[in-house]
Structure 1
Amino acid sequence: MTLEETALARLTGNRLLYIDMLEVLRRGTAEVRRAGPDGVLLYDPPSEVWFLDAETPAVLEEMLPLMEGCTILTGHQMWYKDRLAAHFGFQTEQICHQAAWMNNQMPTVPAFDGEIRRLDQSWAEWAEEHYSHSFGGVDYMRDAIDRGMLGAFVAGKPAGFIATHIEGSMGMLEVLPQYRRKGIGEVLLLSMTAFCLEQGVYPYGQVWWDNEPSLALQRKVGMTLSEELIFWLF
């Protein structure tokens, strides 16, 4: 088998846990740096993210020399988080559940007192200003709009938005304070799920392990949450 075939054989055994790795392989941007029945290492040049799956310490130590210059990574087993943080000098971490649409049918988007529109580049600065977890600046928002950013409008006024991150996960879900608790987050999440499916993209996201409102929203709309935790290091 090729390296990619070996990687797919390993990753499809737990599609929910590895759906982010499967997505970068599906779209053809990932480089398979190591693949075996005991672990897979991918590098995705567009996002500059390393994706790790290692079953044993020996596999992890085999991967480390291959990751020279790593500045951001996501690991799929928690046991090596601290080892990687120490090795690369990372000081910021995010611990998440994978959340994915695992149903065979398109989601049903509930009706609400407004409409969903695809946003164009004229909305980039507005989205950057209103995103509560902004980190990439206006240029990141412009790229997200190119990939497909959806906005919710109520009485013609913007109420919230959602997009996908560069590595493929659904995110940037923001509902303006005055429009919260009206079901708009649910509408946006299901609308983006449908949009991803229409584009042939795997609809998945990552939710911080202790963000109970977001985890509840994922369950409400029919997303499947991984029992396992994954982590990001920056």
Structure 2
Amino acid sequence: MKHKQLQPSIILSLVAIAFFIRGTISSEPIMIGVGILILILALSRAFLILKLSDVDLDDVHYDDAIAKILKSDEVLYVEMLETYRKGDSKILYAEMDGILLYDEKDDTYHAMTINEEAAKDMVKMIPQDYHSLIAYDAITEAIFEKELTYNEKLYYYNYVYQKREELPLINKEVEIRQLDDSYLEVIKRHYSVKSLASDTYLLERIKAGMLGAFIDEELVGYVGRHPSGAIGMIEVFEAFRNQKIAITLQSAYINHVLEESDDVIFTQVDQANTASDHIQMKLGFVKADKKCCWYIR
């Protein structure tokens, strides 16, 4: 794989040498200069590939080359950055023109690129029976759309809470409690993302920590966290909507994360969910400029 990734650098080096030789023979300084510039580009590219290929996932350095690329837009790439930072991912492709990670914990592929050639190389590394895949740009999405099959496709925006301040709970009548597996059936019944509403997945999320909103001892909504670390799974039961329960639940979970860890706090919102977008803005989240495309098999 490393040899294949180095092939463009080798070709660039040969082109650079050709420019240099021709410029020397014909005494053309401009051509010699172009050759030198191409050679510098080729060597820089090869160095980056070799450096990224040697990253040890058991000792991930947050400031290495991959992290620096992803940190160029920390809000857009927040999920990809977090799974890499925590050492949960395998590096399948890492060059200046793109990155492909496989999150073993979440069984999800993460892909970003700046050209079609890289996207075409990446798609060959993804099995047709993949579980979940996220494309972070339109170029990657267009190539994956042609080459991969899927059962469901969702567009969403990433939002990051960059403060370290706890939030007030707006609805004072709601009591927030930790949920246990005795609430599995009611959680499953109300969870809107049916492709994720399996007993196994929901029990894992309950164990990881889900909070419920109660009014007069009755569960009226809940919030949780996906394996990636994204706050989500927010559901408010129909009879109790428009009472600011959703924003109260999310505020409570943000406070919970702040108390328990120093994790980056982020969430994801479907592009059509204007109500949730309004909540994120009100809570002080920063929204990504571009949307992501999530494929589910």
What's the TM-score, normalizing by structure 2? 0.74
What's the TM-score, normalizing by structure 1? 0.92
2:173 is matched with 113
Separation (CA, whole Å) in 2 of partners of 1:133 and 1:60? 28
CA contact (8 A) 1:6 1:36 kept: no
- Please show how residues 66-85 of structure 1 align to structure 2 within 5 Å: 66-69=125-128, 70-85=130-145
CA contact (8 A) 1:85 1:91 kept: no
Give the helix-richer structure, 1 or 2: 2
Tell me the CA shift for residue 51 of structure 1.
Answer: 0.2
- Where structure 1 has 5 or more consecutive residues not aligned to the other structure, the ranges are none
Cα separation, partners in 2 of 1:80 and 1:36, compared to 1, 3 Å: closer
Cα separation, partners in 2 of 1:173 and 1:50, compared to 1, 3 Å: same
1:166 is matched with 227
Tell me the CA shift for residue 104 of structure 1.
Answer: 3.6
2:108 is matched with 49
1:151 is matched with 212
Separation (CA, whole Å) in 2 of partners of 1:45 and 1:85? 23
Tell me the CA shift for residue 147 of structure 1.
Answer: 1.0
1:38 is matched with 97
The alignment of Structure 1 onto Structure 2 pairs a total of residues equal to 234
Tell me the CA shift for residue 91 of structure 1.
Answer: 4.8
CA contact (8 A) 2:119 2:143 kept: no
* 2:243 pairs with 1:177: no
- Where structure 2 has 5 or more consecutive residues not aligned to the other structure, the ranges are 1-50
1:95 is matched with 155
Tell me the CA shift for residue 143 of structure 1.
Answer: 0.6
Look up the equivalent residue of 2:152 and give its one-letter code.
T
Question: RMSD value over aligned CA atoms?
Answer: 1.8
Separation (CA, whole Å) in 2 of partners of 1:91 and 1:125? 24
Q: Which moved more, 1:131-140 or 1:115-124?
A: 131-140
Look up the equivalent residue of 1:103 and give its one-letter code.
K
Identical aligned residues as a percent? 24
**Structure whose CA Rg is larger:** 2
CA contact (8 A) 1:31 1:42 kept: yes
1:204 is matched with 266
Separation (CA, whole Å) in 2 of partners of 1:25 and 1:200? 16
1:128 is matched with 188
CA displacement 1:35-84 (0-9 Å, x = unmatched)? 23332111011221000011111221222222234342001102332320
CA displacement 1:167-187 (0-9 Å, x = unmatched)? 322211001112111111001
CA contact (8 A) 2:212 2:220 kept: yes
Cα separation, partners in 2 of 1:111 and 1:213, compared to 1, 3 Å: closer
CA contact (8 A) 2:159 2:287 kept: yes
